Structure 1
Amino acid sequence: MKKSVLALGALIAVVTVSCSKKDNTELLPVEVPAVAIVNVLSQNTVAQEDTLIFKVKAVQGSTFAWSVDGKDAGVQDTIFKFVSDDLGEHTVKVIASGKDKQVSAQTSIAVHGKYKYGTFVLNEGNMTTENGTLTFISAGGVVTDSAYFKANGTQLGNVAQDLYIHRNKLYIISQNGKKNAVGNTFDNDGMLIVANAETLKKEAAYNDELATLSWPSHVAVLNEENIIIRDNNGLYRFNPLTRALTFIKGSRSAAKLTLAVSNNKLFAAAGSKVYVVEADKDTLTYALDMKASVSGVLKANDGNIWVSTTGAPAKISKINFRDYSLIKANEITAGSVSAGFGATPGITAKGDTLYFSGAGTKIYRHIFSLGSTEFMVDAKTKVENANIVYNNIAVHPLTGEVYLNTIKGYGWNYLVNNISAFNFNEGVKVSANYKNYTNFPAGIFFTYSFN
């Protein structure tokens, strides 16, 4: 004799089965209907507007009633499709009835914001006629165009430049805010916008407080009272609680390149130097001399800092974030680590693997521990109309796919464009290509990079 136990959903039906070693164990008929919920997609979390499918498993002849958070869902079928806009934990329950008796099973599902996991492409827009826009690509490859406008019904600032996510808040800086370079006024939410990073719902916007800035281009956040903004004059510390904008002494010449944050320190390219800024300080903490023009600064996965320089020879260096000492420097003899005309770094990294293209269509890979560099692909040979790379490539921190934004050309040809993803795990493969979603793209931003 032995016992077989069948755990079904939130309730457990225990059935004693008689068998011998030669028998196949089977469930015997039971008086009380047993019920279980099968999560068809095996996902315990789901984004707003996405669907999870549940299937009921029960004794033949049962009838069913589904509910969500105690409210009747109006479904009596064996299949229930769960969709919700409400963030947080939800309880899906099914009651099975049969022979004048009832049993139930339930499961918990967490709903997160539509924009929590995926890839943003920030678009400058045409500086003389329109505002910036935000394109979102979900983890499943679904594209939402003009995502910020769809979430708020209002526009980003004129010439959107940079994006940063900190503690579930998304920060977007625009070059011109509500007025462009020739004085035209635009209807938008301003120069610095703070939104919920999951839903993109606007939480705050700043414009007049930042009126003294000259063409701000980049933003990064150390904490909620230390928003660092780079403009043509250098670096500033903005405190949204007091609305105080303070210039960081010694930061002039900060380059128009993406800012890196590691261990509550900010690292910024500045000619041949890398500036270090700490929270609540109005002067530079340090200025590291790289002795060559810095084309990119970014955080490594171990917290240290990658720095690319375009001297002769070009180099990729790894810098200790604690004492700013050089850990190692590799010479780059193939390809270019130049940042080009754009405002994004000349290198992008996933772990020990770095990619660069010199803001061109030819992509190179460098394995830092091996010191090896190899040519991977010319995007022109794989993607139609990939003539001009607009800002630099970026590698997905989870999948390792390399993304790049290309346009057919200037004039009206910018309307013909691609967001392309290359997978180099097995040869060279275009794993995704999204056509005609960009409008002078300022950069590619993976939500996973800000975790």
Structure 2
Amino acid sequence: MKKSVLAFGAFIAVGVTSCSKNDKTEPQPAPEVNIVNVFSQNTVAQEDTLIFKVRATEGSTFAWSVDNKDVAVTDSVFKFVSKDLGEHTIAVRASRNDQTASSKASVTVFGKYKFGTFVLNEGNMTTENGTLTFISPRGVVTDSAYFKANGTELGNTTQDLYIHNNRVYIISQNGKTNAVGNSFNNDGLLVVANAETLKKVAAYNDELAALSWPTHVAVLNEENVIIRDNNGLSRFNTVTKALTFIKGSEYADKLTMAVSNNKVFASAGSKVYVVELNKDTITYALNMKASVSGVVKASDGNIWVSTTGSPNKISKINYRDYSVIKANDIAIGSLSAGWGATSGITAKGDTLYFSGAGTKIYRHIFSMGSTEFMVDAKTMVENANIVYNNIAVHPVTGEVYLNTIKGYGMDFLKNSIAVFNFNNGTTVSANYKDYTNFPAGIFFTYSYN
């Protein structure tokens, strides 16, 4: 009996031993992982930030990389910032229980200055060079942007800029020598830079020696850079370096020019000159029969022209045959360009704004023929005593930008770039204080796309 019990126990032990030998651990699944682009943006400006988050199986650890190079981030959130233009691949690897899985996302970095607002500053002509202030779409201000990009400065008394084919052209009145003959260390009369990065492409000085105090620039292509100076209009070929005076343009005004359909439109007293591609003589001189205070491209390619007289008028000109499509009388406010060098009108679509280079802003709806007073900036902006060049309307947001200074002498240091929003009442949506230095004008990159 005892032997039988022992034998049965041995059988059980063998059975248990056999079962444990056949037992296998089930393999753990690889973690699930996915990258989330928090802002849902596939493009970003240099030095701006995109945020990526990882969704993965609980208990996972993470390792991030950019362009196949590991970065020192092990958190579930990764902030991507880059100075390098072009496409980049962001990847995250999730690990759990010796199993790994990965996910990727692509993002394109464009130049810091591709989209936004430039304010060009003349500077004090006797002591310093011009500068360029940039406001990003997020409202971040970069002061002395050209200097920060190049380590060199713009010419003395910068006056105007134009963007064409991803290049920005900046003209200065005095270049390397100011009006009283003092020499300055800078890049000269006409500077050409990459419009996204502001890295200098070329600078021209001796080639433009025949010019007398150049003030404005408009570009049709590299061989047709139209420059206005005290003599009139000249065509500069940046390829051959040839400078050719455009016959018949002697009385071109010191005002911003407009470009539409490979034509330059420039004010000249009571006339508007038309300059065409590769032409060394003006194509047409449209007689407006009153003093022209502004020439601006309309959103449909035609041209807005403001004139002062009795009465003041805003006219729309056909860019093809130069006929007047329609002219509206302006009964209130001033269309004057003032003493500055920018247009007396600014337009977004069918809506135009003007201030007569003063603090009182008016709006004109062209299709309705209606004009209304909007605001006196003095009531909303501190130290808005002097308007330095004219207002400009943002071609995308419709906000109106106004440069003011407290006064001359050292009071110019108290200044503002005030942004007015008239979409629902009147508000100051932004006020960038103490960034300007005798501002020559406001330029939106979107206006040149």
Global fold match (TM > 0.5):
yes
Give 3-state SS (helix, strand or coil) of 2:410's partner.
Answer: helix
Partner residue in 2 for 1:363: 361
Structure 1 CA distance for aligned equivalents of residues 97 and 73 of structure 2 = 21
Equivalent residues in 2 for 1:333-412, closer than 5 Å: 333-412=331-410
Offset at 1:43?
A: 1.7
Offset at 1:39?
A: 1.1
Give 3-state SS (helix, strand or coil) of 2:105's partner.
Answer: strand
Structure 1 CA distance for aligned equivalents of residues 68 and 30 of structure 2 = 23
AA in 2 matched with 1:82: F
Offset at 1:230?
A: 0.3
Structure 2 CA distance for aligned equivalents of residues 108 and 335 of structure 1 = 52
**2:308 counterpart of 1:310:** yes
Offset at 1:297?
A: 0.3
Structure 1 CA distance for aligned equivalents of residues 323 and 99 of structure 2 = 73
Show structure 1 runs of 4+ deviating over 3 A. none
Partner residue in 2 for 1:288: 286
Q: 2:325 aligns with which of 324, 327, 336?
A: 327
Q: Deviations over 1:87-114 (max 9, x none)?
A: 0111111112223332211111111111
Offset at 1:74?
A: 2.5
Give 3-state SS (helix, strand or coil) of 2:404's partner.
Answer: strand
AA in 2 matched with 1:130: E
Partner residue in 2 for 1:248: 246
Offset at 1:44?
A: 1.4
Structure 2 CA distance for aligned equivalents of residues 67 and 324 of structure 1 = 58
Give 3-state SS (helix, strand or coil) of 2:412's partner.
Answer: helix
AA in 2 matched with 1:286: Y
Offset at 1:210?
A: 0.5
Structure 2 CA distance for aligned equivalents of residues 73 and 432 of structure 1 = 37
Offset at 1:32?
A: 2.8
Partner residue in 2 for 1:4: none
Give 3-state SS (helix, strand or coil) of 1:163's partner.
Answer: strand
**2:40 counterpart of 1:42:** yes
Partner residue in 2 for 1:418: 416
Structure 2 CA distance for aligned equivalents of residues 427 and 262 of structure 1 = 33
Structure 2 CA distance for aligned equivalents of residues 74 and 355 of structure 1 = 51
AA in 1 matched with 2:308: T
Partner residue in 2 for 1:25: none
Equivalent residues in 2 for 1:38-437, closer than 5 Å: 38-437=36-435
Offset at 1:285?
A: 0.9
Offset at 1:403?
A: 0.4
TM-score, structure 2 normalization: 0.93
AA in 2 matched with 1:210: L
Give 3-state SS (helix, strand or coil) of 1:209's partner.
Answer: helix
Partner residue in 2 for 1:3: none
- The structure with the greater share of residues assigned to helix is 2
Offset at 1:291?
A: 0.7
Q: Deviations over 1:235-286 (max 9, x none)?
A: 0000011110000001110000001000111100011111110111101111
Q: Deviations over 1:38-88 (max 9, x none)?
A: 111222111111111111001112222111111112322211111100001
TM-score, structure 1 normalization: 0.92
Give 3-state SS (helix, strand or coil) of 2:212's partner.
Answer: coil
Structure 1 CA distance for aligned equivalents of residues 373 and 59 of structure 2 = 64
| CA RMSD between the two structures | 0.9
Offset at 1:411?
A: 1.4
Offset at 1:376?
A: 0.2
Structure 2 CA distance for aligned equivalents of residues 59 and 263 of structure 1 = 57
Give 3-state SS (helix, strand or coil) of 1:236's partner.
Answer: strand
Structure 2 CA distance for aligned equivalents of residues 349 and 176 of structure 1 = 30
Equivalent residues in 2 for 1:6-25, closer than 5 Å: none
Unaligned 5+ segments in structure 2 are 1-27
AA in 1 matched with 2:65: S
Give 3-state SS (helix, strand or coil) of 1:215's partner.
Answer: coil
Structure 1 CA distance for aligned equivalents of residues 332 and 233 of structure 2 = 33
Structure 1 CA distance for aligned equivalents of residues 173 and 95 of structure 2 = 63
Q: Deviations over 1:282-324 (max 9, x none)?
A: 0111111111110000100010000000021000000111111
Structure 2 CA distance for aligned equivalents of residues 110 and 288 of structure 1 = 46
Bigger radius of gyration among the two: 2
Give 3-state SS (helix, strand or coil) of 2:147's partner.
Answer: helix
Structure 2 CA distance for aligned equivalents of residues 218 and 99 of structure 1 = 67
Structure 2 CA distance for aligned equivalents of residues 301 and 107 of structure 1 = 37
Percent identity reads 79
AA in 2 matched with 1:49: E
